Amino acid sequence: MYLFANATIYIGLAIAVYSLLIITLGISTKSQKLVNSGKGGMIAIFVCAAMAMLSLFYLLATSQFQYEYVTDYTSSELPIIYKLTALWAGNAGSLLLWTFFLTLYMLMIAYSRKMKGNPMVPYISAILMANAVFFFFILGFIAKPFVLLDTVPTEGKGLNPMLQNPGMIIHPVTLYLGYVGLAVPFAFAMAALILKNVDDFWIKMTRRWTIVAWLFLSLGNIFGGQWAYVELGWGGYWAWDPVENASFMPWLTATAFLHSVMIQERKNMLKIWNISLIIVSYAMTLFGTFLVRSGVLTSVHAFANSNLGLYFLIFMGVAVILSLYVLMSRYNLLKRSAGEFNSFISKESSFLVNNLLLVGAAFAVFWGTIFPLVSEAVRGTKVTVGMPFFNKVEAPILLSMMFVMAVCPLLAWQKSTVKNLRKNFMIPAILAVIGMTLMVVLGIQKAWAVLGYGVIILLLTTHFLEFYRGVKARRKMTKESPIVALYRLMIRNRRRYGGYIVHLGIAFITMGIIGSQNYDVETMKTVALGQSVELRDYRINYDRLDQKKEGINDIVYADVTVFKNGKKLGTFQPEKVFYGNWEQPSSEVAIISSLKEDLYIVLSAWEDDGKATFVVKVNPMMDWLWVGSFMIVIGALFAVWNGKYGNVTPRYTGVRKEVS
């Protein structure tokens, strides 16, 4: 098994190098036969990556402790699902998963029916193949997944308890699918520039790829936040941790890219900007990987210290320098073919403002993340940048983006008149002002919260009006029922209305963020058996303290009965779990959720006489964060489902076909 598993890595590396060289040679000599040979190599390296991953799955599932990776991340007592998902618990396994996804994407593009005979395919294949060579090299010489131990231990070290959560089964996979997915539009963009195809063909061909990558990045961040909320026991969902930031930055730049490409498609504008955005998005995926694997910044999410970060930093630097060189070499061509803005009050202008805000948000996160490294290099002291900085900087940017999202649907392309603006925004503006006034009357008086909820009302109203007017216009032409008209309107404009659903989801997420960040309350109290902890409308009675054993783990738990306004909600069990093969215990919190708020109960400590210390927190509007996340997923899926490629034919024929 050892020889076979390692052979898959080294054979994959050899074939990847061969394919890269032979495709490059085929491009330079315009030989389709050589290109086809390189494309054949893609099948082989995909098989190698798949067999390597299946081999590691088998070793993990069967507890083959003679392998270092299996010993480091599993134990015989570990449930089978977590034995398998330990594949992405460490550097080597997670990079193997990344390589598998990369080779899969590469194969799908090279043999896509839509791309058959397309002259861009050899260039795209070569760019993605260069990525594959790098990852196979890392697996073969730096982070080896199949290393044998000199002495076979009787038991493994086990999996970090924080990773034994359903969220951690999905979170890394979705993030890697998003990271790798952004390499696809990057490869298309570079291929288009090399071929001097400065139209929007590459954008139309990668539209679905980009949305899918964005969707997976969204899912990765959502599952990560949900995991942090239920597993870490601190009552929050986003701490602006360096590794959280690493996955958030490419999401922001990819979001900007998805909006700005619409301007290029409709108005032939922002070509240089769009290519720059996709270069930055791709670079951010590599930068995030550098942060996670280098150990330069402390994070609960990061892997152990290794020298992997240096390799990713070098690879990222080379990729960025080469891509910027290609961009600058085509700068005049891109500039000559670009369109111009006709008015500052137009849909395309609102998209540009949205882009600037998103990129500004990404830069603020980037600067806050790397500032400890900069301060240490310049002053010799590592200055920590925490949540207060990020919240203070990002909050006004978020509200500004929400405002732009609110007004954008009702703006016209090219130019909007003052009369149309007054007509379109009179009702939403009045409703927003009324809503903010009612909030102040009801006791919501923090300025940022009132302003934020006012902007959300404005966004919800303008989007409702967009749906309403679309249905009204369709019914006038077709005489369909409202439900049928709405269904057909959305089906025939999937991209637009899928985007609107995403906007509504972000509005609901913002509702949750504002409520939970501005109006959460927390208390810590030590009580004896029979006593209670009170917070707002809740009373938590402490009924019993006991312990139990599950396998090699010891669990201490408390029975608590929760009342709200005197009404019994039920009995719950916050726990503290002590793992037989892990030093640090973990908290299993009790959460009682409603659309209004969450009650969050943590068993913090206990004494021999039965007294226990509880941390109790009320998080308003938390469920809206998860509802909004669900809507984002639905909107993205709706936008991408059965999407069609543009009927665009590139001018350049590239590689000639040889008659064999």
CA 278 → CA 84, 192, 274, 284, 366, distances in Å?
34, 13, 6, 10, 16
Helix axes 121-141, 91-110, angle to 10 degrees: 160
Of the residues 504, 519, 534, the one at which a domain ends: 519
Of the residues 132, 159, 186, the one at which a domain ends: 159
In this structure, the answer to whether residues 40 and 128 fall within a common structural domain is: yes
In this structure, the answer to whether residues 530 and 495 fall within a common structural domain is: no
For residue 660, is it within any domain? no
In this structure, the answer to whether residues 441 and 546 fall within a common structural domain is: no
- Give the contacts of 456 (CB within 8 A, at least 6 positions apart): 402, 507, 510, 511
Q: At residue 330, does pLDDT exceed 60? A: yes
Number of neighbours of residue 647 by Cβ within 10 angstroms:
6
CB neighbour burial string for 239-274, b if at least 16 within 10 angstroms, e if fewer: bbbbbbbbbbbbbbbbbbbbbbbbbbbebebbbbbb
Q: What's the average model confidence in pLDDT over 163-186?
A: 92
Q: At residue 343, does pLDDT exceed 70? A: no
In this structure, the answer to whether residues 504 and 550 fall within a common structural domain is: no
Model pLDDT, residue 380:
77
Q: Which residue would you say has higher pLDDT here, 415 or 311?
A: 311
Q: At residue 429, does pLDDT exceed 80? A: yes
Q: How many domains does the chain contain in total? A: 3
In this structure, the answer to whether residues 155 and 7 fall within a common structural domain is: yes
- The amino acid that residue 243 corresponds to is V
Q: What's the average model confidence in pLDDT over 436-456?
A: 91
For residue 371, is it within any domain? no
Of the chain, the percentage scoring pLDDT greater than 70 comes to 94
Q: How are beta strands 567-572 and 575-578 bridged, if at all?
A: unpaired
Tokens (6 digits) for 102 = 């990369």
In this structure, the answer to whether residues 117 and 4 fall within a common structural domain is: yes
In this structure, the answer to whether residues 584 and 458 fall within a common structural domain is: no
Confidence of residue 161 (pLDDT cuts 50, 70, 90): confident
In this structure, the answer to whether residues 499 and 607 fall within a common structural domain is: no
Q: What's the average model confidence in pLDDT over 89-93?
A: 91
In this structure, the answer to whether residues 446 and 563 fall within a common structural domain is: no
Number of neighbours of residue 557 by Cβ within 10 angstroms:
19
* Count of residues in the chain: 660
For residue 43, is it within any domain? yes
Model pLDDT, residue 647:
44
For residue 628, is it within any domain? no
Q: At residue 312, does pLDDT exceed 70? A: yes
Confidence of residue 306 (pLDDT cuts 50, 70, 90): low
Model pLDDT, residue 264:
85
For residue 582, is it within any domain? yes
For residue 587, is it within any domain? yes
- The amino acid that residue 95 corresponds to is L
- Give the contacts of 654 (CB within 8 A, at least 6 positions apart): 27, 30, 119, 120, 122, 123, 195
Tokens (6 digits) for 193 = 């520039």
Please tell me the distance from the alpha carbon of residue 249 to that of residue 145, in angstroms, as a whole number: 29
Tokens (6 digits) for 124 = 């795209």
Burial of 565 (0-12, 13-18, 19+ CB in 10 A): exposed
Please tell me the distance from the alpha carbon of residue 279 to that of residue 150, in angstroms, as a whole number: 44
Confidence of residue 402 (pLDDT cuts 50, 70, 90): very high
Q: At residue 372, does pLDDT exceed 70? A: yes
Whether pTM > 0.75 for this model: the answer is yes
Of the residues 519, 535, 563, the one at which a domain ends: 519
For 453-489, what is each residue's pLDDT tens digit? 999 999 999 999 999 989 999 998 988 999 999 999 9
Lowest-confidence region among 6-20, 334-348, 613-627:
334-348
Confidence of residue 177 (pLDDT cuts 50, 70, 90): very high
Please tell me the distance from the alpha carbon of residue 66 to that of residue 155, in angstroms, as a whole number: 10
Confidence of residue 641 (pLDDT cuts 50, 70, 90): confident
Model pLDDT, residue 648:
47
Q: What's the average model confidence in pLDDT over 346-357?
A: 88
Q: At residue 303, does pLDDT exceed 80? A: no
By residue range, what is the domain housing residue 69? 1-159
Residue 256: phi and psi, rounded to 5, are -60, -45
- Give the contacts of 519 (CB within 8 A, at least 6 positions apart): 444, 446, 449, 620
Q: At residue 185, does pLDDT exceed 50? A: yes
Given the structure tokens 């909007």, which residue do they identify? 416
Q: At residue 644, does pLDDT exceed 70? A: no
Q: At residue 651, does pLDDT exceed 50? A: no
Q: At residue 649, does pLDDT exceed 70? A: no
Q: At residue 509, does pLDDT exceed 70? A: yes
DSSP state of 412: P
In this structure, the answer to whether residues 471 and 601 fall within a common structural domain is: no
Please tell me the distance from the alpha carbon of residue 558 to that of residue 574, in angstroms, as a whole number: 6
In this structure, the answer to whether residues 67 and 136 fall within a common structural domain is: yes
Q: Which residue would you say has higher pLDDT here, 301 or 175?
A: 175
Please tell me the distance from the alpha carbon of residue 386 to that of residue 240, in angstroms, as a whole number: 7
For residue 245, is it within any domain? no
Are 275 and 165 in contact, with CB atoms under 8 Å apart?
Answer: no
In this structure, the answer to whether residues 484 and 525 fall within a common structural domain is: no
Model pLDDT, residue 135:
96
Q: How are beta strands 575-578 and 586-588 bridged, if at all?
A: antiparallel
Instruction: Tell me the chain's radius of gyration from C-alpha atoms.
Output: 27
Are 535 and 521 in contact, with CB atoms under 8 Å apart?
Answer: yes
Please tell me the distance from the alpha carbon of residue 439 to that of residue 432, in angstroms, as a whole number: 11
For 566-625, what is each residue's pLDDT tens digit? 999 999 999 999 988 788 888 899 999 999 999 999 999 999 889 999 999 999 999 999
For 44-79, what is each residue's pLDDT tens digit? 999 999 999 999 999 999 999 999 999 999 999 899
For residue 235, is it within any domain? no
Tokens (6 digits) for 200 = 């929007």
- DSSP one-letter string for 424-491: HHHHHHHHHHHHHHHHHHHT---HHHHHHHHHHHHHHHHHHHHHHHHHHHHHHHH---HHHHHHHHHH
Q: Round the average pLDDT of the chain to a whole number and report it.
A: 89
For 513-554, what is each residue's pLDDT tens digit? 999 999 999 999 999 999 999 999 999 999 999 999 888 889
